[in-house]
Amino acid sequence: MNRRGRVQPLLLLLSLAVVLIALSIGKIPVSPEHWKEILLGRMDTSAPQWVALVQIRLPRILAALLIGAGLSASGTVFQGLFQNPLVSPHILGVASGSAFGAATFILLGASVPLIRIGAFLFGLLSVVMAYGLGRFHRRSPLLMLVLSGVIIGSLFSALTSFLKYIADPMERMPTIVFWLLGSLNNIGWQDLAYSAPSMVLPLFLLWLYRWRLNLFSLGEEDAKSLGENTELLKALVICCATSITASAVAISGVIGWIGLVIPHMARLLVGSDNRYALGVSMTLGALYLCLVDTLARSLSGMEIPIGILTAVIGAPTFALLLRRAFPGEGEP
């Protein structure tokens, strides 16, 4: 128990270091001398370093931390809820719904904030539809929820493909495609201010419930026989995770793999007990996305879509993790 208690503070320290590095790297580098000036309060607020730091990098990095933590937490609680370690936060169709919402508004030539609102609302809508479809006799069996999520998800994916097909191939279509690939580019303080509450509050609520979420991993019936109101807890978990994921997709586009891989890494580090695993998963997710976003904007002169990077890094990492998690399972 002691070793597990130490992982969390260590990760927080590591995250702080990564954030400082991420803040320093970019087209306008911030050197240690600049940092000294900032700490001593001598930096001129009109200096290019200050502007790059405060106006551009800070909101972007905060968004990366928040989205990374949010997607990882949603993945962790969904995997527990559905008793399936291969579930991602997008299982109930949030990503497809949001993608359709964004594509629709891009096609209509809407402004960026409007596109974000559209993505958020359609993300919520898709989950509401999946939840409604999977609900029977005042109960919502988990298998039905998953199947409904798949149905609603593919419906919205098909509609998004249709929008791409009819979109103007010179202008609107590339915008849709880039948006779907995911990017943290152009996130300002305003975007952050609008989307933070719908991510921070549910994150906090999930964190408060962290131990009780364990009960789901025993199976719904066992959780019920331990006196838990499973329908209520299920609805609460779905609401929180959906709010987080839809907000994340609305400001960053679809960033895959984090919500699937990070919970596994967290569990490998501290075990399955969400008392530890949920917090570690959030920190690890924040750290990871901040790192990947820094790579995305600094590896080449051109910004690499972050969704591509998380997949390119995530897929082999996941393969390695699976080999470590099930050693010898593939042997005859």
Partner 1 sequence: MSEPILEVGSLSFAYPKGSEILRDLSFRLSRGERLFVVGPNGGGKSTLLRLLAGLLVKRSGQILLDGREIREWSSPALARFLAFVPQFRSPTFPFTVLETVVMGRAPYLSRFRIPGEECYRLAEESLSRVGILHLRNRLCTELSGGEWQLVNIARALTQNPSVLLLDEPTAHLDMAYKERILELIAGMTKAGITLVVVSHSPDIPLRYRSLSLLLNRERVLGFGESESVLSETNLSLVFSTPVRRIKTLEPRPREFCVPEDKPSQDRS
Q: Which of 119, 103, 238 is nearest to 158 (CA)?
A: 103
Q: How far is the CB of 262 from partner 1 (least distance, A)?
A: 16
Q: How far is the CB of 81 from partner 1 (least distance, A)?
A: 11
| DSSP-assigned beta bridge partners for residue 139 | 136
Q: 164 vs 224, which CB is nearer to partner 1?
A: 224
C-alpha dist (Å) from residue 237 to 77, 78, 253, 288, 308: 7, 8, 22, 23, 28
Q: How far is the CB of 79 from partner 1 (least distance, A)?
A: 8
Interhelix angle for 197-208 vs 230-252, to 10°?
Answer: 150
**Tokens 């790579």 found at:** 295
Angle at Cα 231 formed by Cα 225 and Cα 233, nearest 5°? 90
Q: 219 vs 316, which CB is nearer to partner 1?
A: 219
Q: 24 vs 214, which CB is nearer to partner 1?
A: 214
Q: How far is the CB of 209 from partner 1 (least distance, A)?
A: 7
CA separation for the pair 211, 268 (Å, rounded): 18
Q: Which of 280, 228, 304 is nearest to 75 (CA)?
A: 280
Q: How far is the CB of 90 from partner 1 (least distance, A)?
A: 20
Distance of alpha carbon 114 from the chain centroid: 21
Q: 67 vs 278, which CB is nearer to partner 1?
A: 278
Q: 33 vs 221, which CB is nearer to partner 1?
A: 221
Number of neighbouring beta carbons within 10 Å of residue 99: 29
Q: 168 vs 222, which CB is nearer to partner 1?
A: 222
Q: How far is the CB of 208 from partner 1 (least distance, A)?
A: 5
* Identity of residue 63: A
Which residues in this chain contact partner 1 in the complex, by CB under 8 A? 80, 83-85, 137, 208-212, 214-215, 217-219, 221-222, 224-229, 267, 271-273, 275
Contact 81, 60 (CB under 8 A): no
